[in-house]
Amino acid sequence: MARLDGADRQGVLKVMVKLVEELAAASNASGKDVKRENNQKKDEKYQLTSQYTNKQSVRLKPGQDNLFTTFNDLVVAGSLKRAFDLDLETTDGKIKFGSLKKPSEGANYGNVAEGVFAAALAARFSKGRYKMMTSADDVYTMIGKISPTSMPGRTSQKAVFQVEAPNFGTSLTDIITTTITLAKVNMDFLKNPSNKEALREYVNASLTYANRESVRDWVKTIYTNGRQDRVEIDADGVTNEKTSKIDVKVSITDDEGKMYRGVNINASVKTDDIKQFGQVGGNSFNAVSRFFTEAIGETMSGASGEFAQKKRVPTKLRTIYKAANTIINNNLNNPTTSESMAKKIGTGISKFATQDNAGVVDPESGDTVELINLSSGEATIYNFKNVAEKLSEYKLKSEYSFSGDFSLPTITIRESETNKIVIYLRSKAEYIKDKKTGVKKLYYRNLVEKGQFLTELISTTATENPVTSS
């Protein structure tokens, strides 16, 4: 159980609606108790007296709605300490807001951010053409147009909204159509006005991309060409999530129905600088072999016999990871193979991160796909296109270790001079619930996670692209 005062501002904002619902229910005679947690170190900071209860399931006294609003306002303002220190009255005594159990986050914020990103582009292509900068209010206006409908046979929902945009020197208007497809829980979070502040970080981050010159150039092109164009902004990370990394795609066609080539406003969207960018699930030899085939260009067939002899899964995984690390190290330490090994690692990074989409030009449409991370109000663009060549210019080294409750293996690849981490190749186990039986079982995954060196090597901020007037 996690306490509310263990979360940062964004973490609290993301669960604010759910929290207030729980508090309202706990104030109702026919509702449920609200959960809280005792923590000696944290509670000492509040200097609690005998007036405070240490019960971890309590019913609130009614009539505290204004206090809920005050808590929300303080969190929005960034005054977390004051917010957590507020007292709630229960039927057993007082409690601090900070001691409340933090509600679980139902929405997937990476998917929610795709919808925000699409709305920011819609704002740029419609209102942004005659404005110096597209604003957060413009984005929220687009989000307000979302009216989703259910999709037959699927749990996701689709929202389609269309706006007209003026052109220079003609009465003809361009047609901007935005389609957003999300799971219902994510769509509900996106369109709920109460989540405005929780979305702001992603809104501001998306704006740094929407306001960059490369986007504005396309807006200017269709604004000044004297004809009617159609812009399709499609945010659908649900339908093709297993076959494509393209989460948000922009297509532009002219008045004769011909598609513009070279539209470079297509994104694979990530949030909060998540380290993981690739995985292969499973603990069979075939699964782990596939993982290392992509990661380092090695099938690990030489380790198949020893892998099969081991009885326990962690031991099997340690065997093959250790063998893979030996191959990596032997090649990196050999002057004749070190460069080619670094290129193999770079190629693996590109494959896992992009599925051969991001940073690559589609030969048919000419479109370029970018991997974009939205975090802390900024958009960072990751370019994996030449990562193999870039890595081959550095001296790398590899190390093997194992840790955790299951003693699972990790290969850490570093840049030798700075000792900064390029990537982790690691095994992870977690209990998941079987959808048919409801029984929890152990599931293994093989992960690729980026380190600081790789981040610095491939990233640029959207604001590095200068913004000029339209």
Q: Residue 405: how many CB atoms within 10 A of its CB?
A: 7
Q: Model confidence at 353, in pLDDT bands (50, 70, 90)?
A: confident
**Domains of the chain: which residue ranges?**
4-99, 109-271, 276-460
In tens, the pLDDT along 174-231 reads: 999 999 999 999 999 999 999 999 999 999 999 999 999 889 999 999 999 999 999 9
Is 121 exposed, middle or buried, given 0-12, 13-18 or 19+ CB atoms closer than 10 A? buried
Q: What integer pLDDT is reported at residue 364 of this predicted model?
A: 47
Lowest mean pLDDT among 41-45, 218-222, 256-260, 463-467: 463-467
389 or 365: which leads in pLDDT = 389
Q: Which residues contact 131 (CB under 8 A, 6 or more apart)?
A: 138, 470
| Residue 264 pLDDT > 80 | no
Q: What integer pLDDT is reported at residue 375 of this predicted model?
A: 86
Helix count (H) and strand count (E) of the chain?
A: 15, 18
Q: Which two tokens stand for residue 426?
A: 């690691």
Mean pLDDT, rounded, for 103-113:
89
Q: What integer pLDDT is reported at residue 294 of this predicted model?
A: 93
User: What SS3 class is residue 285?
Assistant: helix
Mean pLDDT, rounded, for 272-298:
91
Q: What integer pLDDT is reported at residue 459 of this predicted model?
A: 87
Residue 465: name the closest of 356, 388, 383 by CA.
383
Mean pLDDT, rounded, for 117-136:
90
Q: Which residues contact 336 (CB under 8 A, 6 or more apart)?
A: none
User: What SS3 class is residue 361?
Assistant: strand
DSSP letters spanning 365-432: T--BEEEEEEETTEEEEE--TTHHHHHTTS-EEEEEEEETTTTEEEEEEEETTT--EEEEEEEEEEEE
Secondary structure element (H or E) that encloses residue 20, with its range: helix 9-26
Are residues 427 and 446 in contact, defined by beta-carbon separation less than 8 angstroms?
A: yes
Name the residue type at position 102: K
